[in-house]
Amino acid sequence: MKTPDYYQSLPDGMPPQSIRDEFEAILLAPDDMATLPLTEALYELADRQWHTYSLLDEALKGRLEQLLISRWRDDFEITENLLSIVSRLGLVGVWEFLLGLDKQRISAATREAIDDAVAEMADSIADPYSGMR
């Protein structure tokens, strides 16, 4: 699998199909990467996807949601990455998963990251471009 540095070095402007191909490559072998580097790579791709001003198809979004939910850990950096990915791709399923976590059982840092995200983007999570229309 490619390293997180590879994903960071990708150009900001990429054709949507190239970004989709990169997402698909990660989805084919998600266990090749530890969770934090995986979320870092997905964040980089999500950022490039956001810059295309087009939405991912629902099937790909669903597969990404399953992967992210299955790999979530009570870790501030991982949670921050997930929130950034969610906001750029409109991953409502991951958003609902994070909101449904038992706040008594997660760390204060994770809880604060989620609460801050709710205050910032709760009304617009499904549409990453809502503030631009």
Distance CA 27, CA 89 (A): 16
Q: What is the mean pLDDT of each run of 10 residues along the chain (133 residues)?
A: 90 96 94 93 97 95 98 97 97 97 96 95 86 70
CA distance 99 to 114: 7
Residues 16-43: tens digit of each pLDDT: 999 999 999 999 988 888 999 999 999 9
* Mean pLDDT for the chain overall: 94
- What pLDDT score was predicted for residue 133? 60
**b/e string for 6-31 if b means 16 or more Cβ within 10 A?**
ebeebeeebeeeebbebbeebeeebe
Residue 57 DSSP class: P
> What are the extents of the domains in the chain?
4-126
Kindly report the pTM of this predicted structure.
Answer: 0.94
